[in-house]
Amino acid sequence: MPFTIVRQDITKMEVDAIVNAANTRLQMGGGVCGAIFRAAGAEQLQAACDRAGPIQTGGAAITPGFRLPARYVIHAAGPVYSRWNKRQCRAQLRSAYLESLKLAEKNGCGSIAFPLISSGIYGYPKDEALEVARQSIVEFLQDHDMDVWLTVFDKSSFLIGRALLGRVDSYIDQHYVDASRTGRRSLLRVEEEAMEEARPYCASMPGPAAPSMPARGLDDLMKNLDAPFSEALLALIDRKGRTDVEVYKRANLDRKLFSKIRTGKGYTPKKPTILALAVALELSLKETDALLERAGYALSHASKFDVIVEYFIVNGQYDIFTINEVLFAYDQPLLGS
């Protein structure tokens, strides 16, 4: 998956490079920094850091990983947070992520794991630090192919906006039901009313990036249920006016996986992958149901994962990284590869 959040000890990540939240002198510190030094071999890593440093705030340097599973350690110096100088702090934190990613690419890394830089003793508010991390990483991935992981130790290190979580909690309370009492999800009353006079696939959830579709779109797609899933997907991509690259980037999918889905040959992706594609294409709930059905799946109110994703689709919110942050907060699988 190009970008995902995981609750994991970064020193145990089997990636090409891990990022150390470093000080500008590249000296061994506490917290995540100290853990990385100890796991790599403090003496060896410090000697390498002495040769590579010092660096500026917002900068990064690379050393071998020594005893770590990762080949490299990229040392990124984030800012000490100041509420009186938020703009500069944000620019420096963004730079720390981007410089790390550039160093990883320069050294042939296909995967990299970050901690939440500056969110520890440097005092950067965790929700703001997460926002900068996400925006910086997504910006880089628009033009590059790399698997990027953001590691956290526990939920206390990972904050989502209370207002959003409150709305999701409310939606779950209203729609999540015990598995023994539910069958296939039925449409909400408001959705039924909206769909009564609409032909299948003739409308998308409101939004500036969702072009209208021909009225017979769903009929055309459903004529031959034995056709490969890829045919339905490609038809949707065309009808939505998207490019392949735009779709797999917005779906947070690996390019190779998308190519495998696209070529068909009997391959059917898993449900979280299909839902990621539905989000990338900004499908309505009815359109999402139809796409899932082509692969033998359905949304169910017996699944908290399904209800959470449904919440975002019903409300026309198609930022897959926000959706994944909420899914992570509820200990659910993430959308994407």
Q: pLDDT of 95-143, one tens digit each?
A: 999 999 999 999 999 999 999 999 888 999 888 888 899 899 999 998 8
What is the structure's pLDDT at 220? 54
What is the structure's pLDDT at 156? 55
Residue 64 has pLDDT above 50, yes or no: yes
What is the structure's pLDDT at 227? 58
**Residues ≥6 apart with Cβ < 8 Å to 180:** none
Residues 37 and 219: their CA atoms lie apart, in Å, by 60
Mean pLDDT of all residues in the chain?
A: 83
Residue 224 has pLDDT above 60, yes or no: no
User: N- to C-terminal Cα distance for the chain?
Assistant: 5
**Interval 76-93 mean pLDDT:** 95
128-145 burial, b at 16+ Cβ within 10 Å, e below that, comes to: bbbbbbbebbbebbeeee
Residues 100 and 74: their CA atoms lie apart, in Å, by 6
The string of pLDDT tens digits covering residues 154-208 is 565 555 666 677 788 888 888 887 544 444 444 444 344 434 443 333 333 333 3
What is the structure's pLDDT at 186? 47
What is the structure's pLDDT at 219? 54
Percent above pLDDT 70 for the chain? 81
149-164 burial, b at 16+ Cβ within 10 Å, e below that, comes to: bbbbbeeebbbbeeeb
Edge to edge, what strands does the sheet with 111-114 contain?
3-7, 147-152, 111-114, 17-22, 72-77, 60-64
What is the structure's pLDDT at 99? 97
Amino acid found at 239:
R
Strand-pair partners of 152: 7
Residues 5 and 14: their CA atoms lie apart, in Å, by 15
111-115, 151-155, 231-235: which range is least confident on average? 151-155
**Interval 29-53 mean pLDDT:** 94
For 152, the enclosing helix (H) or strand (E) is strand 147-152
Q: Phi and psi of 17, rounded to 5°?
A: -145, 140
40-44, 168-172, 297-301, 318-322: which range is least confident on average? 168-172
0.95 exceeded by pTM: no
Higher model confidence: residue 285 or residue 337?
A: 285
What the chain holds in terms of domains, given with CATH numbers, is 3-157 (3.40.220.10), 162-329 (no CATH)
What is the structure's pLDDT at 183? 45
Residues 333 and 296: their CA atoms lie apart, in Å, by 19
